[in-house]
Amino acid sequence: MPDFSEKTLLRDKGVTEMRDFNGKVVVVTGAASGIGREMALAFAERGARLALADIDGDGLEGVRRELEARGNAVYTQIVDVCMAAEVEDLCASIYREMGRVDILCNNAGVAVGGWMEDVSIDDWKWQLGPNLWGVIYGCHYFYPRMIAQGGGGHIVNTASGAGLVPLPITVAYNTTKFAVVGFSETLRAEAALHGIGVSAVCPGFVATNVVSNARIVSRTQRSSPEELKQRFIRFFERRNYTPDKVAAAVVKGVERNRSVIVMGPETRLGDLSMRLSRGLVIKVMEQAVRLMKRYV
């Protein structure tokens, strides 16, 4: 009987698992802190050459010094991934400086929290910028050059467990993450023709600067935006799921050419529940919203 497993089908199309990162060029956006920083460290530990970008110049410089002190080759550039011209320039600069790109990690992101009726159009634009357009711009400029250079490669797009399971009070954030998962799975099918793997990263509740820098909107009398933010921060701190665990899963996911890298028990349970009964999950969320409305 023919083997129709994803692994076999992708191998037949020329996509190979990437086991050796030594000397490979890895691009990471949002690399100044959190998951991006840990991904840079994890790939560097495996001998990769790093090209790092972030809007936070001071944080980026700190990561560069840390990696260079370990003997890793690093290129850095301050980039706002919401700006197409800046991502295009980043791509051109990295190819000029490092010659090729083997792994592209579109990781930069922000978060908006609040009920749909409180989220403004400006909030939506701020949310969509790095989370979705940053991924689109990254792939738009890097992907064709990765095809042209030959030799395969891998694209990693940071989504979230919120891209697999609907979560109340984060409708804008969820929208971008569901979009990134769909974008990645669709591009994966096309990229296989060129020997390039594509993965969407879907961690659960991870304590990063995305939480502390989130834009929280609220027009209710029950909770001010700052009170809501502090609740989110305390929750994520108690969860204590650190970015280095995500980075380790990403490296393993690239090694095994995983399509969706799901991590964290809450995400695994939510994803499984959605697969088994989408309607039941939605009903549970509706009840959760009714409860939350009493306090938020």
Instruction: Give me the pLDDT at residue 101, please.
Output: 98
Exactly one of 95, 141, 173, 241 is catalytic; name it. 173
Average pLDDT score over the chain? 90
Mean pLDDT (whole number) for 40-65? 97
Instruction: Give me the pLDDT at residue 2, please.
Output: 47
**How many CA within 13 A on the CB side of residue 32?**
18
pTM: 0.89
Per-residue confidence at 110, pLDDT binned at 50, 70, 90? Answer: very high
Please tell me whether residue 71 adopts helix, strand or coil conformation.
coil
Quick check: is 295 catalytic? no
Residue 206: partners with Cβ closer than 8 Å, 6 or more residues away: 34, 35, 236, 239, 241, 242, 243, 246, 264
Per-residue confidence at 176, pLDDT binned at 50, 70, 90? Answer: very high
Per the model's pLDDT, the better-predicted residue between 114 and 31 turns out to be 31
Instruction: Give me the pLDDT at residue 74, please.
Output: 97
The whole-angstrom separation of Cα 43 and Cα 62 is 17
DSSP state of 31: T
Give the chain's domains with CATH numbers.
20-292 (3.40.50.720)
> From the centroid of its chain, how far is CA 272?
21
pLDDT in tens, 202-261: 998 887 777 778 888 876 656 666 666 666 667 566 776 799 999 999 999 999 999 999
| pLDDT at position 12 over 50 | no
